[in-house]
A and B are shown apart, each in its own frame.
Chain A
């Protein structure tokens, strides 16, 4: 049943992807300035040579010249859009316009794992810290522990990640010399600051969610019953309260992972991490049409998968919800 549901959802996502790719393609061509526009202007025929190499010498969506010549099929096929789509269907994203000797697929395959690694560490950090913090706050409701941890949680949500990154670098690298101020070499010390800077916001989100959820569950009848029966506080919290409070937290895991992995631009930039997030911005700035298309597709797939996962998770965690 679940499998059929997932397959159905995936089938629906294909037209969504197609629409997205088409819109991205069109928007890129509408924006002024092309990939080969630069301050040192190129002689027209050199630009023409370049455009020929990247299929930009053809009309964008329809080829009126071919139509007037009576080639009605080529009206659609001899266009940039058709060439790009044909390549996409074959899984070829083409060469990057900026990094001329590299394929977009290679760029993504090299940078995506780094972003995933960073993102997963950050999410893991967020869960490991956020859940206990939420439980503790709820359990010590309205005490100084609750107030302090919620103060940090709210700060974490409101402070922009670049500010957190800069503060962390200032103290841990420059003042105390404990951790490197950037880079992504192998070694534990290189991961700490970026992971904390990226994870602090999810920590805050999870802690607040967990706190609210635990507070909700604590007031349930079955907890009162358990207490009345004389169950000790720690097993009660762990076995009955926490388990039942996890539902909302688990359901946000999917979108959180997608958001953290693709939304780490600032952190990757500040810590000089060779991830994919920076291409989201730089590829647009460079009008690197193929690379923009590549990262957009990756992002879309991430979101689609995350959404499906969440819906499936709902039914797994809460049997009352049925997939249809």
Chain B
């Protein structure tokens, strides 16, 4: 009897812990539940490099300038105006004097000076320090060659004037002033709390929201900053959840536990597309195929041209059904320099003639067509394409394999590698292309700032991101020149010339499509504008729920 009593007591105790806590998150017209998808690695602006962290940072902090979305023009934020010297070397930002931190102190130019210098301080080891390498002395300072901070071109002249001096004029430099990594920071707060300064109990920010709760790997609560200098956020609370599994996020959305989901499960997209909640738009990112241009047989530019012309990119975008835009240009649509007429389009006849020009002859061997080198009589080798393990990439690469086989009679093998192994082998390919087991790889690039230089400088011979081994001094010179030309028309022309070399003449890469992002939200959620930067201004969103739910 006693034992069964104990049993019942224990049982009751456990279940009362379940039932005891009944605090629920109510869905009302003051709260939005947003899927952040993953834990932001950090919300320390200086140390961030990823999009999730940037999304949160942009809603917690305000920088010097901002973008007017979706036009992508630069507009004032904490800086009410700015001057650029005639030689385009000195940028002077005039700050508002009514911007305050969440602890009531004023935001001054010194807070910007601190954050900009922190970014290039080698002790911070900031990954995006190179964003400021156009600033006078910044690169040397980051490399430890320059020790004297005073020689840096970063200076607060007084509380409301912040001045930046460049080493050379750069056409896109104004975008740097919008960069989430360069939000103003409070030296006293960071020095007092160390790495823990970003925790809700310590953090001091100046944006439309305050970070009031951060349960790591689970949720963040952003609460309206009532003392914000600009138009106050429309919603009082944003609950940012970190639901990584896309199908779970979709289930939570369907059961109204989530208001906005981004990145939908690929298999569900065809079905979800018919829903009124489905929204899609292109953003500034390009998916491309890279060739190892120093490795046989792709060291022949005519072979690369042929391989490029044999691909119908629309087949791939149709297959993926995500709304991606097939492209021949690596500069994405929406940016200066995008030119849909540049690049090698799908043309099988031309592909065949380029193979011939490359020195190959089409022969019938045992009933199968095969290219044979006219000099050495050797058959064209099997090409290997590698990609990082992922279902969508697999779809793309398998389609390329089929097209090359069908359109150009080129035998292709494919293999996949885990992400970090993949990155490692791409880096080795740059140094020793003949020792890696592939000829062709895939990659994508998403704009750090809306300027064509961000895409074009990737493929300069000295870029750390150029994995193709391709080097063309003419291209390098054009990209360097376009960097400093301030007239947009002249710049666009220079980029046209550069793209022609990269994509047509030398065919070092094969652009496939411009990324599209997919999201879902119900009509009761308003004020969202999908934009090419995939930026989420949560302060502009409001909800009008049909029936307030519990």
Contacts and interface: CB of A to CB of B under 8 A. Distances in A.
Q: Name the residue in B41, B47, B418, B420 with the highest tally of chain A Cβ atoms < 10 Å from its Cβ.
A: B420
A38 B216 CA distance: 23
Nearest to B199: A101
Interface string A100-119: 11110001001100000000
B501 interface: no
Contacts of B14: 121, 124
Interface residues of A, number: 56
A187 B23 contact: yes
Interface stretch (B174-182, B242-250, B355-363, B372-380): B242-250
27 contacts: A33-B418, A33-B423, A34-B420, A37-B423, A43-B130, A44-B464, A46-B126, A46-B129, A49-B142, A53-B125, A95-B195, A99-B41, A101-B42, A101-B198, A102-B195, A128-B11, A174-B255, A181-B251, A183-B241, A187-B24, A188-B18, A269-B245, A272-B218, A272-B249, A274-B216, A274-B218, A274-B242
Given A41-B465, A102-B195, A272-B252, 17 more contacts: A33-B421, A34-B420, A37-B424, A39-B443, A46-B125, A99-B42, A101-B195, A110-B216, A128-B11, A169-B251, A177-B255, A181-B248, A182-B248, A182-B251, A182-B252, A185-B25, A286-B420
A52 interface: yes
Contacts of A286: 420
Interface of B: 11, 14-15, 18-19, 21-25, 39, 41-42, 44, 47, 49, 122, 125-127, 129-130, 142-143, 195-196, 198, 215-218, 241-245, 247-249, 251-252, 254-255, 257, 418-425, 427, 443-445, 464-465
Contacts of A184: 218
A250 to B, nearest CB: 15
A217 B387 CA distance: 59
A45 interface: yes
B464 A100 contact: no
A32 B420 CA distance: 7
Contact of B241 (A32, A174, A186, A272): A272
A23 interface: no
Given A32-B421, A39-B443, A49-B125, A101 B196 contact: yes
Given A33-B424, A49-B142, A99-B41, A271 B127 contact: no
A65 to B, nearest CB: 20
A191 interface: yes
Contacts of A180: 252, 255, 257
A1 B445 CA distance: 65
B464 A42 contact: yes
Contact of B244 (A49, A191, A272): A272
Contacts of A53: 125
A39 B444 contact: yes
A272 B242 contact: yes
Contact of B255 (A46, A124, A181): A181
Contacts of B252: 180-183, 272
Interface string A22-44: 00000000011110111111111
B346 to A, nearest CB: 27
Contacts of A188: 15, 18-19, 22
Contacts of A148: none
Interface string A248-278: 0000000000000000000001111010001
Q: Is the interface of A mostly helix, strand, loop or mixed?
A: loop
A286 B418 CA distance: 11
A98 interface: yes
Contacts of B247: 166
A270 B39 CA distance: 16
A32 B424 contact: yes
A173 B249 CA distance: 13
Nearest to A42: B127
A155 interface: no
Contacts of B242: 272, 274
A38 B122 CA distance: 20
Contact of B216 (A36, A41, A107): A107
A285 B125 contact: no
A38 B23 contact: no
B255 A272 contact: no
B241 A100 contact: no
A50 interface: yes
Given A181-B248, A186-B21, A174 B465 contact: no
Given A46-B127, A101-B196, A181-B252, A111 B420 contact: no
Contacts of B418: 33, 285
A61 B92 CA distance: 51
B369 to A, nearest CB: 37
Interface in A56-111: 95, 98-103, 107, 110-111
Contact of A285 (B22, B420, B424): B420
A287 interface: yes
Contact of B143 (A38, A45, A177, A185): A45
Contacts of B427: 37, 41
A270 B421 CA distance: 26
Contact of B125 (A50, A110, A173): A50
A291 to B, nearest CB: 12
A98 B41 contact: yes
Nearest to A32: B424
Contacts of B257: 180-183
B325 to A, nearest CB: 21
A103 B14 CA distance: 32
B248 A272 contact: yes
A173 B218 CA distance: 20
A100 B444 CA distance: 25
Interface in A189-219: 191
A169 B18 CA distance: 20
Given A42-B127, A49-B125, A272-B245, A173 B444 contact: no
A38 B423 contact: yes
Contacts of B126: 46
